[in-house]
Amino acid sequence: MARGVYIHIPFCHQICNYCDFNKVFFKNQPVDEYIEAVGKEIEIVVKEMPEQFQKIETVFLGGGTPTALSATQLERLLQLIQEKLPMEHVVEFTSEANPDELTVEKLIALINGGVNRLSMGVQSFDEELLKKLGRTHSNNHVYETIQKAKEVGFQNISIDLMYGLPGQTLEQWEDTLDKALQLNLPHYSAYSLIVEPKTVFYIQYSKGKLSLPTEDSEAEMYGLLMNKMKANGLNQYEISNFASKGFESIHNKIYWDNDEYAGFGAGAHGYLNGQRYSNHGPIKKYMESVESGNRPTVREHVVSTTEKCEEHMFLGLRKNEGVTFKEFEMRFQVSMHEKYGDIIRQLTQQGLLIEDEIGIRLSEKGRYLGNDVFQQFLLED
């Protein structure tokens, strides 16, 4: 049964140099028609498997950039979501946003449409680094937009930050963290840059024209991040996420708990009935499929028991609380030690895992080497 719903809005007014998500320039796109197609897809899927949508806890608008839409377009999208999805159990409704696109009209449309959480892509408070990233907002946009959001009624506001950026120094990162924390928000996410294929940064990197911080420098940045967040009373509840009590992202926790969720929109991914699936990415193909009355899926994969075990471990270990022995055994009818005992002992001896009577979790050292730890739980089928 789906705990969450992700809805993809693939339109952007500016394409960032690091972004590899499914997106297109907003101009000359069939935006209004796309919104109607999303509504129709939701209707098709909910009608096909109503039992999957009885207790949705979260809805998440991602992209692309949902706030690239006009206020009128946002109103229509949110109207369709409210009409087509069973929303009575939804406690968290998030929209991603760009600081320079959130007008008061859009903020009102979002809050009136049921959105109660904003996730803003800030990335840095160094305006030269923002230009390198291809971002169009300024620091003033961030300050003004957060103030407007609070005045409209948003209390649950998160911002995304990035480190390990081209030419970024520890001092620049510290300044960004200080400015971010001065906003006194209840939630922060911070991610190290990954140079993904099919991005501007990847082209620059492959030509030797992208100067990135060393691994040691990036580790210093991560350590500074954890220390600053802790000093400001924010709990690190996942490798890259920090929150005041009660403001942890419920939607993201669905992913880390390896629970099921539906994905709607062009290029969206979902996990329903033990199957992972993805939709057509090209907007035209997506819309044609929906208009013909079909689910617009292009790939479906039945997740094997071994894969479910692996995913449960490497996703669950992202959380500070880690993975419990009880939950693992309930899901898979085998003890975690029977499946992974040697690996757990080895990683514990290396100081990368902590084990107690409840379960296992990453040590502080393990957080720095998370990907290395996760890889150990990928077994051959």
Average pLDDT over residues 72-90: 98
- In this structure, the answer to whether residues 200 and 341 fall within a common structural domain is no
The predicted structure's pLDDT at residue 131 = 87
Provide the mean pLDDT of the chain.
94
Instruction: Report if residue 121 sits inside a domain.
Output: yes
CA atoms within 13 A on the CB side of 297: 17
Question: Does 132 score more than 90 pLDDT?
Answer: no
Over 70: is that where the pLDDT of 205 sits?
no
Point out the domain boundary residue: 256, 274, 308: 256
Whether the CB-CB separation of 1 and 50 falls below 8 Å is answered with no
Question: Would you say residue 9 lies in a domain?
Answer: yes
**DSSP 8-state code for residue 199:** S
Inside any domain, residue 350: yes
What per-residue confidence (pLDDT) applies to 18?
Answer: 63
Mean pLDDT of 200-225: 86
301, β-bridge pairs: 276
**Do residues 97 and 184 share a domain?**
yes
- DSSP string for 253-284: HHHHTT--EEEESTT-EEEETTEEEEE--SHH
> Both 105 and 221 in a single domain?
yes
| Judgement on whether residues 193 and 76 belong to the same structural domain of the protein | yes
Q: In what helix (H) or strand (E) does residue 191 lie, and over which residues does it extend?
A: strand 187-192
In this predicted structure, what is the pLDDT of residue 135?
A: 84
Q: What is the pLDDT of residues 307-327, one digit of tens each?
A: 999 999 999 999 999 999 999
What percentage of residues in the chain have a pLDDT greater than 90? 86
pLDDT tier at 105, thresholds 50, 70, 90: very high
Q: What is the CATH number of the domain that holds 90?
A: 3.20.20.70
Starting at the edge strand that comes first in sequence, how are the strands of the sheet with 297-302 ordered? 235-238, 241-243, 187-192, 156-163, 117-123, 92-97, 58-63, 4-9, 261-264, 269-272, 275-279, 297-302
Please check whether residues 238 and 348 belong to one and the same domain.
no
Q: Which of 94, 30, 41, 32 lies closest to 63, judged by CA?
A: 94
Q: In sequence order, what E strands does 71-136 have?
A: 92-97, 117-123
- Of the listed ranges 118-132, 253-267, 367-381, the least confidently predicted one is 367-381
- For residues 233 and 16, the model is more confident at 233
Q: Which domain holds residue 326?
A: 322-375
How many distinct structural domains can be found in the chain?
2
What is the per-residue burial (b if ≥16 Cβ within 10 Å, else e) of 124-152? bbbeebbebbebbbebebbeebbebbeeb
| pLDDT confidence of residue 378 | 87
Phi-psi region of 265 (alpha: psi -120 to 50; beta: other; left: phi over 0): left
Q: What is the pLDDT of residue 381?
A: 45
161, 180 in Cβ contact below 8 A? yes
263 bridge partner residues: 6
pLDDT at 222: 97
Under 8 Å CB-to-CB from 274, ≥6 apart: which residues? 302, 303
Residues 145 and 247 in one domain: yes
Shared domain for 89 and 13, answered yes or no, is yes
236 and 338 in a single domain? The answer is no
Q: Please report whether residue 180 resides in a domain.
A: yes
Q: What confidence tens digit (pLDDT) does each residue in 226-280 have?
A: 999 999 999 999 999 999 999 999 999 999 999 999 999 999 999 999 999 999 9
Domain membership of residue 234 (yes or no) is yes
Q: Is residue 283 part of a domain?
A: no
Which of 71, 122, 75 minimizes the C-alpha distance to 97? 122
Which band of pLDDT confidence, cut at 50, 70 and 90, is reported for residue 199?
confident
pLDDT band of 12, cuts 50, 70, 90:
confident
Residue 326 near residue 319 (C-beta atoms within 8 A) = no
Task: Evaluate whether residue 364 is within a structural domain.
Answer: yes
Is there a single domain that holds both residue 327 and residue 252?
no
Q: Give me the pLDDT at residue 22, please.
A: 63
Asked whether 241 and 248 are in contact (CB, 8 A), the reply is yes
Separation of CA 211 from chain center = 26
245 and 371 housed in the same domain: no
- CA–CA dist 228, 222 (Å, integer): 10
Check whether residue 152 and residue 20 sit in a common domain. Answer: yes
Rounded CA separation 196/212 (Å): 14
> What CATH number corresponds to the domain at position 357?
1.10.10.920
Single residue among 256, 276, 309 that ends a domain in this structure:
256
Are 126 and 214 within one domain?
yes
316 falls within a domain? no
